[in-house]
Amino acid sequence: MACRFLSLFSLLLGGCAISCREYGDTIFRHKHCDFIITEKFRSEGRYINLAGVSAANRSDTFMEIGYYDLYDSAMIGDRLVKDSGKTEVILIRVDSFKIAFQYTCDGKLIE
């Protein structure tokens, strides 16, 4: 499954936008990705996009509103890992330095 993360603001359930907590618990938590970053860009003003290739040579993308610290820290060649069941996103720098980025909602950590 691709690691394409949709914005909680663009997801609609029954005509109402879901809350960031619901998004974190029901969608974001269950996503998985593990790829080497080959490209990074911003789109539509607020989205960050990190694209790359997995070990299986498949294209993958991390696209989300927020995570600006992750975007600023990421470099081409770094590895991005998001395990299913967790809300943490790990950036493994080319020099093997790891940085963890937590999913938050209204300033509160969602674990």
Instruction: Give tens-digit pLDDT for 65-76.
Output: 888 999 999 999
Instruction: Provide mean pLDDT across the span 72-86.
Output: 95
Number of C-beta neighbours around residue 45 at 10 A: 6
Residue 52 inside a domain? The answer is yes
**Confidence band (pLDDT; 50, 70, 90) for 90?**
very high
The model's pTM is 0.77
| Domain harbouring 97, CATH code | 2.40.50
Q: Which secondary-structure segment (H or E) carries 23?
A: helix 20-26
Where in the sequence is the domain holding 69, given as residue range(s)?
18-109
Q: How many domains does the chain have?
A: 1
Residue 2 inside a domain? The answer is no
Residue 5 inside a domain? The answer is no
Residue 12 inside a domain? The answer is no
pLDDT digits 0-9 by tens, 13-67? 344 568 888 888 888 899 999 999 999 999 887 889 999 999 999 999 999 888 8
